[in-house]
Structure 1
Amino acid sequence: MASSSANLWVMLGLGLAGILIMTRKLKKIIKPDFGAFIQKLQLLPPPQPAPPKAPNPLTSLTFAVSDLFDIEGFVTGFGNPDWVRTHDSAPKTASVVSTLVEGGATCVGKTIIDEMAYSVSGENKHYDTPTNPGAPDRVPGGSCSGAAVSVAANLVDFSIGVDTIGGVRLPAGFCGVIGFKSSHGAISHSGAVPLSTSLDSIGCFAKDPNVLRRAMHIMMQLPFSTQRNPRNIIIADDCFELVKYPVHRLTQPVIRSTEKLYGRQALRHENLGAYLLAKVPSLSNQKMNGEMNTSTLSQLGQAMQLIFRHEFKENHDEWMKSVKPDLGFRAGLQDGHGDGDIQKLYNIKNEMRIALNTLLKDDGILVIPTFADPPPKIGGKELASESYLSRLFSLQSIASLSGCCQVAVPLGNHKNLPVSVSLIAGPGCDRFLLDTLKNMYSSLQEQGDVVSVSNSTSNVISKETSADIAKEKGNQAFKEKQWPKAISFYTEAIKLNGNNATYYSNRAAVYLELNSFVQAEDDCTKAINLDKKNVKAYLRRGTAREMLGYYKEAIEDFRYALVLEPTNKRAAVTVERLKNLFQ
């Protein structure tokens, strides 16, 4: 009898332990830095030149670097602890990082990447997965996930990474920020871990197109020149056929912005697959289920992946054989390709460069979706789906194989998930693409908002009304304790009407539930700046500051809440408690 009783208690204990473990897994606590950083550090810029000389061009800006770039005195981690263990500290800082610091920016840390930058999800089993600020239950995208998250979470002004098969463009799209992939060879890779030498390009993340432009100009050391407008903005219709949400959500903002800024005559439509099939002789003419264009784009995606695997193996196979690290992607490296097969792939790559050069010249912009499917859920099965990956790599391969520059431009949300459109310019036309982005960005955001709140009869709802609708949805999600949804709805409301203090204060309440106290404090401060009499904002900021250890400031917030609302018992009790403890 005693034995049965003991067994019962053991079973109950195991059951409770299982429940606790599952609860922790289901409710992931968002870290103050959203898990973006693997290492905090500080590289300070040189002193400002004395007047009348102009200040350094990147003065007052902060940036982060993906854990692919060397920084003197630190081990470049490459997303893998075995790599860290078997490598020494870098003797010299990567040239692109040094250039940015010398330009006046302050480097504040290294950010997490996929393990050995090999995946596109942004997940890392060794260092955890950075939280996507706009969609916390979704992957941030990779390989440079932490760099994208650091910008999306307003932790830095910009960040840098390496884009090989979408490592900058994809996380930028998934996290709702701007992501710029430079032309192949446009920026020195000295001091960066090589992935696939013929595909690697340095890239940059930012929220503000002007910040992006300043950073890219310094990285590329571009001299002054006259700005040029595009003559042709070409919409690749067949690429948009891959998209799994309403196509007009992407194309209409581009069409309306082009007509407004450059005139209808600048717009063109192109069947890109058919064009490339005619211009890239090394591509197979074989149809796939009667869909030649889809087959052509799919072949490009496959070619890009095979080149990537071949060159990655050349760069790192010796280390992997000697160290034998535990790598989840090792099987993908076993695909054997003879010299003849590889040469065919390089032929496709060379012909792609010529074909895109011919199509775009020096005044054309190609428009494609940044990605075809919404960001997958963390731990979702999409990234194991051949059809999902085929659509994803088909779109990433266009700029990667041709060496073109590309910028991913956020266009808000669809069903509370980020959407993004990409602009591609010819190889070496980086300045032209940056200028085009500068001209079009505001219009694209405005038109994106218009399209997102249009009803089925195309009658546009006012932004204020749409913002209130989003807020009410956020309130409902809050009541149901669906924290990620609530954040998404309140963020949408803020994008539509950023002058409403309630939206910031409500989002702060969600951040408090998630123990994201830095974000809660920031939102409350914005709310207070907009409305000095917002009692809830003072109470919530006081709570956030107390949890962060800013007790003096917390007391001041609760006291001010009492001034505005003398009968507020919560504020009175908290002030007395904090006074007794810390004064």
Structure 2
Amino acid sequence: MSTPPPPGLLDAFGAYESALLADDVSTLDLLSAPGDGTVRADAEGVLVGHEAIAAVRAARGGAPLRTVVRRHVQVIDAEHALVVAETEPAGGGRGVQTQLWQRFPGESEHGGWKVTAEHVSEPPPAIDARIWRIVGEPLVPPTADGPLTGQTVAVKDLYAVAGHPIGAGNPAWLVGARPEPAHAAVVARLLAAGASLRGIARTDELAYSLGGTNPHYGTPPNPGAPHRIPGGSSSGSASAVALGQATIGLGTDTAGSIRVPAAYQGLYGIRTTHDLVDRTGLVPLAPDFDAVGWLARSAEVLQAVGGVLLPPGSPGGSDELVFVPELVGLADADVEDAVLAWMSARGATSLHAPIGDLEEWREAFQTWQAYQAWESHGGWLRGDLDVLGVDVRSRFAHGATISPDDAERARQVVRRAGARLRDLVGHRVLVLPSAPSVAAPVATGLSLEGRTATVRLTCLAALAGLPAVGIPASTAEGLPVGVCLLAAPGRDRDLLALAAGTVRP
């Protein structure tokens, strides 16, 4: 004979379910156990602590409509019980919600019952539209066997894929786009090397963002740091790779759009030397800074792609690792500690050399980038900026106000900064953080201050046209960060080889 549920438990369960469907965050918080030990898990990862769970609930905007079909209760003792609920989402399928309930004596509301641990399972979507615009099995097969046979590619929705329009992360752009007559140059080369195209992955609008929070299609998940932003603008490609839905994420990097998502999600990534890899068939943002890049879960796959897309040879140089304390110090303390530990384990030496006015460089970079972005897309946007989300709209609106004289002054600063950085790197490998912080919670997103701090660091490779390889590391708390290796123009293969020989901490 089964043990009857303790008094008040089913009432508390019913109140929880009602609050969930009504997005009654205050009641849900009340029914969740206080303290740092409360746990909630779902397909995107695990949240630990009442405060973290409450923050995600407050930001998500409610749960999908569903019906509890059946409940199963296992009584542990008078103050603990396990409740397993079978659910039927309004959209079909079946889900399961498993909750460990505890009664807190002295609390009268809802009988004192609160959830201390919860795991929610929902039927997965056929296609996660936050990650993919279109996907297939495969979407495009390889055109030949080669060194990438068996690899699958998530293509950022800026590259031409024959027979498909480019969406560029914006619905209005997609409506006006026609199917592409031919593959982008790098897409064709990947197919010829044996890779297949898994699908076309989401991007931030026109690649003009670093957060990965597209206002039209949603925020791709970050499995390396659940409920935190994925990093943009190559967000869809990065999430597809991190989730194992593709082995290669083809993206672009103008101001960090490979390096930032790689750092946030614990991936390897490369921004190639400017103009070294053919950009034919790629929607531009700021042509003086745009570069082809890709992501992978291993340095070996990252290097294999380089063997296909990069020209042979290297201008030469050493594998001597150096760092400039001023640059490493641009990162938050937890990221700085992780990068310093990585460098210490590999014998990197400190380089005390004058840098330049980093804030002047950042401002010049963003001015010249915005001016070029408006030159690239102002004709399409003029008079209709409202087709863009708020953040990207503000950047294009600023670009529209930059005069040719101001743009030229910024370009001259960019030119001088690039020369200084190339001299600084010389024949060595410069180590710095890929991004100055860990991924921000989805609830807050990447703030203006966070974006400014990120660009101050990530613009350095773009100013000098340098190759940059991101290697995953982690903070003491286990959050992903990136260690970035910079070298002289053309040394892309050297950096990939160095990364492939590096043991991940």
Query: TM-score, normalised on structure 2?
Result: 0.72
After TM superposition, the structure 1 = structure 2 runs for residues 116-515 of structure 1, keeping only pairs within 5 Å, are 116-222=206-312, 230-246=318-334, 247-257=336-346, 259=347, 267-271=348-352, 275-277=354-356, 296-321=357-382, 323-327=384-388, 328=390, 329-335=392-398, 336-361=401-426, 363-380=427-444, 383-386=446-449, 388-439=450-501, 441-442=502-503, 445=504, 448=505
Aligned equivalents of 1:317 and 1:46: distance in 2?
37
Q: Deviations over 1:438-457 (max 9, x none)?
A: 22x21xx1xx3xxxxxxxxx
| 414-423 or 85-94: bigger deviation | 414-423
Aligned equivalents of 1:389 and 1:322: distance in 2?
27
**SS across alignment from 1:68:** coil
Quick one: structure 1 residues 231 and 420, their matched pair in 2 at CA, closer, same or farther if it must change by over 3 Å? closer
From 30, 42, 46, the equivalent of 2:143 is 46
**SS across alignment from 1:212:** helix
**SS across alignment from 1:415:** coil
More strand by share: 2
For residue 117 of structure 1, report the CA deviation from its aligned partner: 1.5
Q: Deviations over 1:127-161 (max 9, x none)?
A: 11100011121000000101111111111111111
Quick one: structure 1 residues 16 and 101, their matched pair in 2 at CA, closer, same or farther if it must change by over 3 Å? closer
The percent of aligned pairs where both chains have the same amino acid is 27
> Which residue pairs with 2:201 in the alignment?
111
For residue 323 of structure 1, report the CA deviation from its aligned partner: 4.9
Aligned length: 391
Letter in structure 1 aligned against 2:140: L
For residue 344 of structure 1, report the CA deviation from its aligned partner: 2.0
Aligned equivalents of 2:221 and 2:286: distance in 1?
27
Aligned equivalents of 1:18 and 1:316: distance in 2?
40
> Which residue pairs with 2:80 in the alignment?
none
Aligned equivalents of 1:209 and 1:229: distance in 2?
20
Aligned equivalents of 2:478 and 2:218: distance in 1?
24
Unmatched 5+ stretches in structure 2: 1-17, 26-56, 65-121
More helix by share: 1
> Which residue pairs with 2:119 in the alignment?
none
**SS across alignment from 2:387:** coil
Unmatched 5+ stretches in structure 1: 1-12, 49-55, 260-266, 278-295, 449-583
Tell me if the contact between 1:410 and 1:418 (Cα under 8 Å) persists in the aligned partners: yes
Letter in structure 1 aligned against 2:251: G
Aligned equivalents of 1:414 and 1:126: distance in 2?
35
For residue 364 of structure 1, report the CA deviation from its aligned partner: 0.7
Aligned equivalents of 2:304 and 2:180: distance in 1?
27
For residue 342 of structure 1, report the CA deviation from its aligned partner: 1.4
Q: Deviations over 1:61-91 (max 9, x none)?
A: 1111100001111010000010011121111
After TM superposition, the structure 1 = structure 2 runs for residues 513-532 of structure 1, keeping only pairs within 5 Å, are none
Tell me if the contact between 1:299 and 1:394 (Cα under 8 Å) persists in the aligned partners: no
For residue 172 of structure 1, report the CA deviation from its aligned partner: 0.7
**SS across alignment from 2:187:** helix
| 137-146 or 13-22: bigger deviation | 13-22
Letter in structure 2 aligned against 1:357: R
Aligned equivalents of 1:24 and 1:393: distance in 2?
28
| 106-115 or 17-26: bigger deviation | 17-26
Query: TM-score, normalised on structure 1?
Result: 0.63
Letter in structure 1 aligned against 2:24: I
For residue 97 of structure 1, report the CA deviation from its aligned partner: 0.2
**SS across alignment from 1:437:** helix
Q: Deviations over 1:251-308 (max 9, x none)?
A: 1222222x3xxxxxxx432346xx232xxxxxxxxxxxxxxxxxx2222222221111
**SS across alignment from 2:469:** strand
Tell me if the contact between 2:238 and 2:262 (Cα under 8 Å) persists in the aligned partners: yes
Aligned equivalents of 2:422 and 2:21: distance in 1?
63
Q: Does 1:25 align with 2:80?
A: no
**SS across alignment from 1:202:** strand
Aligned equivalents of 2:222 and 2:319: distance in 1?
36
**SS across alignment from 1:116:** helix
Q: Deviations over 1:90-114 (max 9, x none)?
A: 1111010000100111111011111
Tell me if the contact between 1:140 and 1:174 (Cα under 8 Å) persists in the aligned partners: yes
